[in-house]
A = this chain, B = another copy of it.
Amino acid sequence: MTETQGLHIAVVGATGAVGQQMISTLEQRNLPIKKIIFLSSARSAGTKLTFKGEEIEVQEAKPESFEGIDIALFSAGGSVSKELAPEAVKRGAIVVDNTSAFRMDENVPLVVPEVNEADLKQHNGIIANPNCSTIQMVVALEPIRETYGLSKIVVSTYQAVSGAGAAAINELKEQARDLLDDKEIEPKILPVKGDEKHYQIAFNVIPQIDKFQDNGYTFEEMKMINETKKIMHMNDLPVAATCVRLPVVTGHSESVYIEVEKEGVSAHQIKDLMKTAPGVVLEDEPKQQIYPTPASSVGKNDVFVGRIRKDLDEDRGFHLWVVSDNLLKGAAWNSVQIAESLLKLGLVTVK
């Protein structure tokens, strides 16, 4: 199609918020693509999308859709992945799955290329893309872990509604307009579409992302805790998370407190690490009021880090402010990056 030699790619969930970003990321990058197919539920099948100027009709995702596919990028919800990812693997595809379906499966590598690209070599057909809020944090922390060791993480998140899909974005915008016009609102989607209660998100803050677990933590918090340990290969690393939804469309922010193992490290040394860290852009000049914000991170693949400062009491303690586009590095870009890594490592070959 676009190359005479190249990969056969499938995008599953092509019409969704992340699927759309996957398609535009694939258009911008140099992965050699010979053929690309867009798959979705029966409901969205028939939609016409373009790829590099060519119109492509979205097809209903079925087991046989994956015949001849080299890499299938899944972002159509956990139940679709559970049903169809094994079918795709059976037909010879490598699946990069952006849902939580397989992340904690010990036979499935959970990969952020800047952190644990080598884990791809252990794949058995399925590779999991971590949760958006986990990805940006580990990209920022990995160079610190590598150089000074990590002994504690306490993170509070400031998460955008696009992580909850297109309906949540619409809800935020409609609520904001209605509240500005002094109209009544009736929350229907957030915090979790399938949960019992819904709360105002415009001009408000909801300390719940995903459903509550029996231990009082939300599933989103447990994802950050467990995925961070798995990606960093540190099962005993103390990680704590409080995940909060904000009236922001796109761009997750995180207030991260860490303790390093080494004593006597300075904030300057942490900043120096960030300057050369893969995937990281340091934006940290307090005197010029330079720090990352969600609005300035939208549309970019990088993880932006600022507000780096040493704790005033704990010699091994540091604070960081980490921001990234949750649809890109948090989802679509990390998935495409995994596909690029598979090619680079020779784990998939161009025919």
Contact = CB atoms under 8 A, between A and B. Distances in A.
Interface of A: 152, 154, 156, 158, 172-173, 176-177, 180, 191, 195-197, 199-200, 203-208, 212, 215-217, 225, 238-240, 242, 244, 246-249, 251, 253, 255, 257, 267, 286-289, 291-295, 306-309, 311-314, 317, 319, 321
B257 A289 contact: no
A68 to B, nearest CB: 43
A313 B205 contact: no
- What 4 A-B pairs are tightest by C-beta distance, nearest first? A238-B313, A156-B255, A156-B156, A212-B286
A319 B240 CA distance: 9
Given A158-B158, A206-B293, A286-B212, A255 B247 contact: no
Q: Which of A248, A267, A291, A312 has the most CB of B within 10 A?
A: A312
Contact of A306 (B207, B240, B307, B317): B207
Given A158-B244, A212-B287, A240-B313, A295 B197 contact: no
A74 B248 CA distance: 35
A172 B248 CA distance: 13
Given A206-B293, A208-B289, A240-B319, 14 more contacts: A158-B244, A176-B180, A200-B293, A204-B293, A204-B294, A204-B295, A205-B248, A205-B294, A207-B255, A216-B307, A239-B313, A240-B312, A240-B313, A247-B247
A244 B205 CA distance: 13
A177 B181 CA distance: 10
Given A293-B204, A309-B216, A317 B240 contact: yes
A317 B238 CA distance: 11
A165 to B, nearest CB: 17
Nearest to A313: B238
Nearest to A226: B312
A256 to B, nearest CB: 9
Residue of A217, A246, A291 with most chain B CB atoms under a 10 A cut-off: A246
18 contacts: A156-B255, A176-B180, A191-B289, A200-B295, A203-B247, A204-B293, A204-B295, A205-B246, A205-B253, A205-B293, A205-B294, A212-B289, A216-B286, A216-B308, A238-B314, A240-B257, A240-B319, A242-B321
A208 B253 CA distance: 13
Contacts of A239: 313
Nearest to A317: B240
Contacts of A172: 203
A175 to B, nearest CB: 11
Contacts of A289: 191, 195-197, 208, 212
A121 B92 CA distance: 79
Contacts of A314: 152, 238, 240
A281 B197 CA distance: 20
A207 B248 contact: no
A238 to B, nearest CB: 3
